[in-house]
Amino acid sequence: MRIRFWGTRGSIPVALTAADVRDKLAQALVQASGRTFATYEEAHAFASSELDFSITHTFGGHSPCVEIELPGANEYFVCDMGSGARPFGVHVMAKQARAPATVNVFMSHVHWDHIMGFPFFGPAYAPGTKIRIHGVHDVLEHAFRLQQSPPCFPVEFDPLGADIEFVKLTADKPHTVGGLTVTPHLQLHSGDSYGYRFEHAGKVAIYSTDSEHKLENRAEAEGFAKFFRGADVVIFDAMYALAEAISVKADWGHSSNIVGVELCQMAHAKHLVLFHHEPANNDATLEGLLKEARRFEELTRTDHALKVSAAYDGLEIDL
């Protein structure tokens, strides 16, 4: 199983500005002060090994879209249709080389940042493509049609070339979709959201975004620990630092890096991936939140180590 991140930002897409790029370049030059590089490869090696991620990379700007690729499968599996669905669609069409694709979509919920990429999802316009949009919400189809209704978008939903089907799932019940076992789980978020547990060939991936955790509720924490139990990877809504999540942004429907570590430790999960990054946070702030989560994991580690990463557009994780 391979997880491929096409969109990792929460709420609204963001882009690096010219000033951001200039700032990264200036910081890299300062850190390289006194060094000379005879070749591109030497400079590349220095940048890769000695500079922080936030200087050499960006966490990226597309809103949520995460692909799950199964070895040998001829179908696609993807969580949410945020703006990352546009490059995901380019990838699908290039890989298919004009052959029709079957794409299985799993929707956490239908807030705008999670559906906005669909009108720009190329395969939706290709006759012969099959798109099955799975979810627990009754309003799933309504939301997809609504965003392509006049005056919001020039192409309405009905003329789309693909064969598009909406498939209702039941919470906490395992479903089999194209060889993948999928179990949705209710989460606390305005209008409800659902996390997904994906199981295939002994590997488990959790997609749990737009989910707030009320810390005083032991039953809720234990329910999520059970849902995450033994996962190889947990993609987790870590939009805020803990103090922010439980003070000024309490009841906004999101969580923190610290709670992600605690729940994964309870669940004996192997790898926590911080996801749904706050759009106001720059790359340095996001890298800081990642370092803090890693340090918290070290401080509170008991019988097993938890790997902690931060998702970025383009990240691939092999399970």
Does position 243 interact with another protein (CB under 8 A)? The reply is: yes
Task: Using CB under 8 A, pick the residue from 55, 93, 110, 258 that binds another protein.
Answer: 258
Does position 216 interact with another protein (CB under 8 A)? The reply is: yes
Does position 242 interact with another protein (CB under 8 A)? The reply is: yes
294 to 313, contacts with another protein by CB under 8 A? 295-296, 299-300
Task: Using CB under 8 A, pick the residue from 43, 146, 215, 284 that binds another protein.
Answer: 215
The tokens for 172 are: 């906490």
Among the listed ranges 15-23, 141-149, 179-187, 238-246, the one in contact with another protein (CB under 8 A) is 238-246
Minimum CB–partner distance for residue 64 and another protein (Å): 24
Alpha carbons 167 and 220: distance in angstroms, whole number = 27
Does position 241 interact with another protein (CB under 8 A)? The reply is: yes
Task: Using CB under 8 A, pick the residue from 126, 234, 246, 315 that binds another protein.
Answer: 246
Amino acid at 87: P
Among the listed ranges 38-46, 50-58, 79-87, 252-260, the one in contact with another protein (CB under 8 A) is 252-260
Going by C-alpha positions, the residue among 209, 199, 312 that lies closest to residue 260 is: 209
Among the listed ranges 35-43, 152-160, 200-208, 291-299, the one in contact with another protein (CB under 8 A) is 291-299
Does position 262 interact with another protein (CB under 8 A)? The reply is: yes
Nearer to another protein, 171 or 243 (CB): 243
Nearer to another protein, 54 or 255 (CB): 255
Going by C-alpha positions, the residue among 265, 263, 288 that lies closest to residue 278 is: 288
Amino acid at 309: S
Alpha carbons 207 and 246: distance in angstroms, whole number = 22
Task: Using CB under 8 A, pick the residue from 292, 307, 309, 314 that binds another protein.
Answer: 292
Nearer to another protein, 199 or 287 (CB): 287
Q: Which residues contact 48 (CB under 8 A, 6 or more apart)?
A: 56
Burial pattern 39-72, b for ≥16 Cβ within 10 A else e, equals eeeeeeebbeeebeebbbbbbbbbbbbbbbebee
Does position 247 interact with another protein (CB under 8 A)? The reply is: yes
Alpha carbons 132 and 104: distance in angstroms, whole number = 5
270 to 289, contacts with another protein by CB under 8 A? none
Alpha carbons 28 and 55: distance in angstroms, whole number = 7
Nearer to another protein, 86 or 254 (CB): 254
Q: What is the DSSP string of 154-181?
A: SS-STT-SSEEEEEE--TT--EEETTEE
Minimum CB–partner distance for residue 195 and another protein (Å): 19
Does position 251 interact with another protein (CB under 8 A)? The reply is: no
Cα separation values, 18 from 21, 23, 53, Å: 5, 9, 18
Q: Which residues contact 98 (CB under 8 A, 6 or more apart)?
A: none
Residues that bind another protein (CB under 8 A): 215-216, 218, 221, 241-244, 246-247, 256, 258-259, 262, 292-293, 295-296, 299-300
